[in-house]
Amino acid sequence: MVTRVGCIGAGYVGGPTCAVIALKCPDIRVTVCDMNPTRIGQWNSDKLPVFEPGLDEIVQKCRGVNLFFTTDVVATIQESEVLFISVNTPTKTYGHGKGRAANLKYVESVAREIAKVARGNKIVVEKSTVPVKSAQSIADILKANRNSQNKFQVLSNPEFLAEGTAIEDLLNPDRILIGGEDSPDGWKAIETLSSVYKRWIPADRIITMNTWSSELSKLVANAFLAQRISAINAVSAVCEATGADVGQVALAVGKDSRIGPRFLQASVGFGGSCFQKDILNLVYICESLNLPEVAEFWLNVVSINDYQKQRFAKRIVNCLFNTVSGKRIAIMGFAFKKNTGDTRESAAIYVSAHLLEEGARLAVYDPKVEADQVTRDLNNVTGTPDVVRDQVEVCSDPYEAARGAHALVICTEWDVFQTLDYARIFAGMPKPAYVFDGRKILDHEKLTKIGFEVETIGKRVRNVSQSHPAAITNGAGSGDGATGLDSCEDATGPDSEMTL
């Protein structure tokens, strides 16, 4: 029976996963460690480093009872029978495989540390998302560096939680995947880890398989999810050009039981720390295996996502009479999705950077993202801290962000945006007042009745002014025809500049 579980990496995965293990297994002592003392300090405080609905309550209940957060990596390794590796595996930014391959330096350094300090036998569980055969590399490092008495079994146990619903996903997962060595010791290790999950998850949802299938399944699952988003987003461009409504198309397509309705919501594009990174990793693996056609197929999922963000950002500029220079624009939502404070790869960052480059002044509001995070992200992506300092204001109130703005740009689908007093907001904006709904969450009819010009993804909204001058310059008439350009379509070329 397992009595001590440890986890290296107290991030979005390590923290919530261990909190749920502690909740469901009160007799197991769960220790989460991280080399970052600030992060551990936050886990031990009232303001956790990760916002997830339901997480605070669990941490409050278990912390100091059977859940501990520490910077003491050595003690955590030595004390634990089952040891999760839950460190970050970002895309490499240098050297061979730059921009594609996963950077495994954190995983490797943890493996070396375990080999150096472990006492006794351990089950090492690869929870981080890694390329196929990483478990073998971990096992090789452990074997080459271990103290002769120690024995290790390495398992692959990828995490499928989604940020924003992490606790619900951990309490009630679709499946738990465990990959291990096909040997009596391997089976025993799989059974030991399964016994932890079986405390709250039905046995038929615990799938076991060989290590390589398990590692690859995680990458493929994310690639499939992202592929659905890119597929519907590609369709959204066709809808905008034809007058079809992507919501209606998604409804019709999703009713087919072979397809199903989920992940068919068109938007400004997917973000988050995982989809792009994991697909690029898959692309790199395919290229390394000399499978260029397969690599190209998956790469297109990322390309369409980039195209979608770019299309949306350009549409904002085009609609605002082809210039946003000096105009205040409210960025509503900065997290990559609702119910998280995580901004990694958020579409809002790309859209904001594009608008800054065009000279806009941005007022950013997000209920869960801190001001310094917004600044850091924009500094990183633009490389121009002066511009960010001069042109970006982070607001703590949505009405403050909207005041005086030429446009509201909905980048994150926070529920709170659906219940704002838009008549009040409209009154404080220069006219025409625009809403760009990148998440398709607002009541467009209501907004147009108030007087807003509404632009959204994959659908033409019948706006207050059915044609505005930009439509005339691009030669598309009223923009109301079945195949004509919408008034805000990309109007490139020398004639496209709007002259007021």
* Min dist. Cβ of residue 113 to ligand NAI (A): 6
134 binds ligand NAI (CB under 6 A): no
Cis before 432? omega within 30: yes
DSSP SS3 for 69: strand
Q: Binding pattern to ligand NAI, positions 147-186, x when CB under 6 A? A: ------------x-x-x-----------------------
Question: Which residues have CB under 8 Å from 487's CB, separation 6+?
Answer: 319, 467, 468, 470, 471, 476, 478, 479
8 binds ligand NAI (CB under 6 A): yes
Render 217-273 in DSSP notation, one character per residue.
HHHHHHHHHHHHHHHHHHHHHHHHHHT--HHHHHHHHHTSTTT-STT----S---SS
In the bound complex, which residue of the shown chain has the CB atom lying closest to ligand NAI?
A: 11
187 binds ligand NAI (CB under 6 A): no
89 binds ligand NAI (CB under 6 A): yes
In whole angstroms, give the CA distance from residue 366 to residue 371: 9
DSSP SS3 for 88: coil
6 binds ligand NAI (CB under 6 A): no
* Min dist. Cβ of residue 75 to ligand NAI (A): 12
Q: How many residues belong to the site for ligand NAI (CB under 6 A)?
A: 26
455 binds ligand NAI (CB under 6 A): no
87 binds ligand NAI (CB under 6 A): yes
Question: Which residues have CB under 8 Å from 243's CB, separation 6+?
Answer: 460, 481, 482, 483
In whole angstroms, give the CA distance from residue 395 to residue 408: 13
Q: Please indicate whether residue 411 is annotated as part of the active site.
A: no
In whole angstroms, give the CA distance from residue 415 to residue 148: 56
9 binds ligand NAI (CB under 6 A): yes
Q: Binding pattern to ligand NAI, positions 266-305, x when CB under 6 A? A: -------xx-------------------------------
Which residue of 6, 11, 173, 484 would you call a contact of ligand NAI, by CB under 6 A? 11
In whole angstroms, give the CA distance from residue 35 to residue 113: 12
20 binds ligand NAI (CB under 6 A): no
220 binds ligand NAI (CB under 6 A): no
109 binds ligand NAI (CB under 6 A): yes
323 binds ligand NAI (CB under 6 A): no
* Burial track 207-222 (b if 16+ CB lie within 10 A, e otherwise): ebbebeebbbbbbbbb
Contact indicator for 197, 206 with CB cutoff of 8 Å: yes
Contact indicator for 44, 63 with CB cutoff of 8 Å: yes
Could you say which of 25, 239, 274, 319 is catalytic? 274
Question: Looking at 106-114, 296-304, 306-314, 441-449, which segment touches ligand NAI (CB under 6 A)?
Answer: 106-114
Residues binding ligand NAI (CB under 6 A): 8-14, 34-36, 39, 73, 86-89, 106, 109-110, 128-129, 159, 161, 163, 273-274
So which residues are the catalytic ones? 274
